[in-house]
Amino acid sequence: MSETKTGQPVRGYRREDPGSRPPYLFPDYLATRLRAPRRPLTLLPHTLTEVTGPLLGEDRVGELDHDLTRQHRGEPHGQRIVVTGRVLDGDGRPVPHTLVEVWQANAAGRYAHEVDRHPAPLDPNFSGVGRCLTDADGGYRFVTVKPGAYPWRNHHNAWRPAHIHFSLFGRAFTQRLVTQMYFPGDPLFDQDPMFNSIPDPAARQRMVARFALDATVPEWALGYRFDIVLRGRDATPTEEEDDDQ
C-alpha cells in the first residue's frame, strides 16, 4: 500500500471472504446492470485521519429511537418483535458504542417513503426507522413489528422476503457497512436475486436471524437474535450503500 498525499495509509485491514460479498454485477438483480462499474476500481486507502475521526455519539440517539412501536401516539399494526444481537469484529471481540441504524417496511409491506407506490396501507403509527448504540458487550436491541414482504418489479411477480435493513459504523466513520436481516424459513428466499447474489450459501444464512425464545417477552413480543460480524471468515454479507430495495 503506497503513501498518499492525504496522509499515512492504515495497514492491516482484513478483507472479507469473497463468497460473502455480492458481485457488483448480478444480472438477475436488474439494477446492478445499470450501476455496476464498467472500469477497474481505484483503491482509495484509508488514512489515519479518516480512521481516527469522530463517530456519531450518544447525544444523537433519543431515548425511544430503538423502539419503533413507541414513536407515535398509538401502536403500529403487526406482530410485535424484539430484534437483538451483538456486533463483533473479525476476531470475535465485541464492538462497543457503535451506531446501529435500521429501516424497514411496515407490517403490510410498505415503506413510509414517497417513492414507495406499493398500494398497501401506510400505518400512521409506524415510521420504520430506528437507531441505538451498542453497549459495552457489543449488544443492541430494537423493538419493532415484523415487516411484510413487498413486490418490487425486478422480474415478473417478484417479492422481497421480509427483511430489516441495517447500517453499522464499526470503529470509524469510514467503516460504514450496510446489510439486511431476514427471517428464518421465509418461502421467498429462492426467488429473490438480492438474497441469492451472495455467492456462498452458508454466508446467505448469516443474514438470517434465528428465532430466540430467550429474547421474547412473554405475552408481549416474539424475539429474534441477529449477530453481525464486521470482517473475517464469518462476516455478515454486506452490500453497496445504494442497495435500498
Catalytic residues: 111, 150, 160, 163, 165
* Bridge partner residues of 221 (DSSP): 217
Helix (H) or strand (E) holding 195: helix 193-196
C-alpha pair distances (Å), 209 with each of 9, 80, 144, 206: 36, 16, 15, 8
Nearest to 99 by CA among 199, 166, 19: 166
* SS3 of residue 46 by DSSP: coil
Please give the grid coordinates belonging to residue 63: 431515548
Q: How far is CA 233 from the centre of its chain?
A: 18
Q: Is the dihedral of CA 172, 175, 176, 182 positive or negative?
A: negative
Fill in the DSSP letter of residue 112: S
Q: What is the DSSP string of 129-146?
A: EEEEE--TTSEEEEEEEP
Distance (Å, rounded) from C-alpha 127 to C-alpha 56? 22
Fill in the DSSP letter of residue 47: B
